[in-house]
């Protein structure tokens, strides 16, 4: 096959897919999980992410730069350059997460000691239609994934914060469509609108730095954010429209409408392949708003930061955690939980570089991470979540692309749900929410060292510790050891 024929074939394939790179917020890549919105979120530290965000289009384009992460094959036979000159980017990567238990789980409950592996391969393409067809400001995005494996945390009784975030919701199929949408940029990047099949949590309450970590309490959003099934979480999506305003170089205001499918969002009937686009089970709308401030602090403006405040209200019906339709505890009456119309959530997210390593790259330094997330406790499992963490890259001059991460999270279960579970336990009945004991609060600690093995390949040994697994004080604490790897093929 000649090179010309190969290029034409790849171009035809590119036009069949729309792919996932959302516009960056200031100098921060768009928020997602590995493989989501375009391999910018590669599970790497800031410097490698910055490489992904480097512009690769001519200066006069009004479309966001095509993603260009560090990869094993940068430009095979010149195909990538040829495509990018025409506004097309293809990415292919794999994220794999392996973890095993150090201690034996609590005895007498059917739990077992073991290890497990989970992973994802993803294909993505981004098309700049301004460059390809002179459609000014327009781009299309899509991501397709396949997933495999389960988290080891299920084996010792945790059902709140999976030890390996990359598992689940992929439909157990070879090809699963994550999202596909179009995006129009207007007024010199001051206004941006996107519409199509979109993941709520790819745009809101997210930060690409969180997916350096492996535990689902941190990556790719605070886990409490996906508690409400009105908040579509990667790798699933809803029909939606999102608006983004940029009043200044350091501020962003965004809002949107996501048509919710709370009963079927993670089920096989509607979402197994991701290609079933009908709206038969749309049951409401989620309407988030978020304000983002992206300052650069320090004497020489060498300390970038991102501060987010957000709120969402949805109009779907949710099951009450305690009362039935007559206002009595459903755990005693035997009736179904009452329907509560609408639910809310609020959040604050921070990442701020607090120290820049002298003489190192612009994004090499110590970064503080902070999260506060609050759900409506009447209807959601996780009422509150707080976390604090640190990421440090460039501290070792001999290995400038290696990094170190530490994160700690506290998750508090809704008091209403805890009361219901206690009533079930008093009667010797199976507890709701799939728990073994009434749930209260849990704590998760994670420590990792990320090794830059070679171009496009990272390997991160990882240690996690669970206090009160699944917010169940009766379960033994558990230590987990493993690794997270990421391979960006092209």
b/e for 447-464, b at 16 or more Cβ within 10 A?
Answer: ebebbbeeebbbbbebbb
Would you say 228 and 343 are in contact if contact means Cβ atoms under 8 Å apart? yes
Q: Can you give the residue range of the structural domain that contains 287?
A: 3-488
| pLDDT of 386 higher than 90 | yes
State whether residue 275 is helix, strand or coil.
coil
| pLDDT of 268 higher than 80 | no
Would you say 193 and 183 are in contact if contact means Cβ atoms under 8 Å apart? yes
Nearest to 127 by CA among 30, 17, 25: 17
State whether residue 429 is helix, strand or coil.
coil
Q: How many structural domains compose the chain?
A: 1
Q: Which residue has the tokens 């768009």?
A: 30
pLDDT digits (tens, 9 = 90+) for 50-90: 333 333 334 456 888 899 999 999 898 999 999 999 999 99
State whether residue 334 is helix, strand or coil.
coil
pLDDT digits (tens, 9 = 90+) for 213-256: 999 999 989 999 999 999 999 999 999 999 999 999 999 999 99
Cα 316 from Cα 310, distance rounded (Å): 19
**430 DSSP β-pair partners:** none
CA atoms within 13 A on the CB side of 278: 4
| pLDDT of 451 higher than 80 | yes
pLDDT digits (tens, 9 = 90+) for 284-304: 999 999 999 999 999 889 999
Averaged pLDDT score across all residues of the chain: 87
End-to-end CA distance of the chain: 21
CATH number (domain holding residue 21): 2.40.160.180
Output the CA–CA distances (angstroms, integers) from residue 378 to 159, 249, 320, 339, 419, in the order listed. Answer: 19, 39, 6, 11, 12
| pLDDT of 5 higher than 80 | no
Instruction: Transcribe 42-65 into DSSP letters.
Output: -S--HHHHHHHTS--S-TT--SPP
């Amino acid at each position: 096959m000649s090179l010309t024929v190969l290029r034409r074939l790849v171009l035809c394939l590119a036009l069949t897919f729309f792919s996932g790179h959302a516009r960056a917020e200031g100098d921060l890549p768009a928020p997602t999980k590995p493989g989501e919105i375009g391999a910018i979120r590669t599970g790497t530290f800031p410097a490698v992410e910055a490489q992904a965000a480097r512009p690769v289009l001519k200066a006069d384009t009004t479309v966001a730069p095509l993603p260009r992460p560090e990869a094993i094959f940068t430009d095979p036979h010149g195909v990538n350059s040829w495509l990018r000159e025409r506004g097309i980017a293809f990415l292919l990567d794999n994220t794999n997460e392996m973890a095993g238990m150090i201690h034996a789980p609590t005895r007498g409950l059917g739990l077992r000691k073991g290890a497990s592996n989970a992973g994802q391969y993803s294909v993505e393409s981004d098309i700049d239609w301004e460059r390809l067809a002179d459609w000014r400001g327009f781009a299309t995005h899509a991501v397709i994934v396949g997933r495999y494996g389960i988290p080891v945390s299920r084996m010792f009784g945790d059902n709140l914060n999976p030890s390996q975030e990359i598992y689940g919701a992929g439909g157990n199929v070879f090809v699963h469509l994550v999202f596909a949408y179009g995006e129009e940029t207007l007024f010199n990047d001051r206004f941006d609108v996107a519409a199509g099949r979109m993941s709520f949590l790819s745009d809101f309450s997210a930060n690409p730095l969180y997916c350096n970590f492996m535990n689902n309490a941190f990556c790719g959003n605070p886990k409490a954010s996906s508690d409400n099934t009105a908040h579509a979480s990667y790798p699933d999506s809803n029909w939606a429209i999102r608006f983004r305003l940029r009043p200044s170089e350091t501020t962003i205001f965004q809002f949107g409408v996501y048509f919710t499918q709370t009963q079927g969002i993670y089920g096989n009937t509607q979402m197994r392949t991701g290609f079933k686009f009908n709206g038969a089970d749309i049951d409401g709308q989620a309407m988030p708003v978020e304000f983002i401030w992206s300052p650069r602090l320090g004497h020489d403006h060498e300390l970038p930061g991102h501060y987010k405040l957000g709120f969402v209200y949805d109009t779907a019906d949710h099951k009450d955690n305690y009362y039935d339709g007559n206002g009595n505890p459903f755990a005693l009456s035997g009736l179904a939980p009452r329907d509560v119309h609408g639910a809310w959530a609020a959040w604050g997210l921070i990442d701020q570089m607090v120290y820049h390593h002298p003489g190192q790259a612009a994004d090499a330094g110590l970064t503080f991470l902070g999260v506060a997330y609050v759900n409506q406790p009447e209807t959601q499992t996780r009422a509150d979540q707080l976390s604090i963490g640190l990421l440090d890259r460039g501290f070792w001059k001999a290995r400038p692309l290696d990094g170190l991460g530490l994160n700690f999270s506290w998750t508090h279960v809704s008091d209403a749900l805890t009361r219901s579970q206690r009533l079930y336990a008093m009667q010797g009945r199976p507890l709701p929410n799939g728990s073994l004991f009434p749930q209260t609060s849990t704590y998760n600690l994670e420590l990792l060292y990320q090794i830059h093995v070679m171009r496009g390949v990272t390997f991160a040994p990882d240690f996690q510790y669970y206090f009160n697994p699944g917010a169940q004080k009766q379960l033994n604490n558990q230590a987990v050891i493993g690794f997270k790897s990421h391979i960006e093929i092209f």
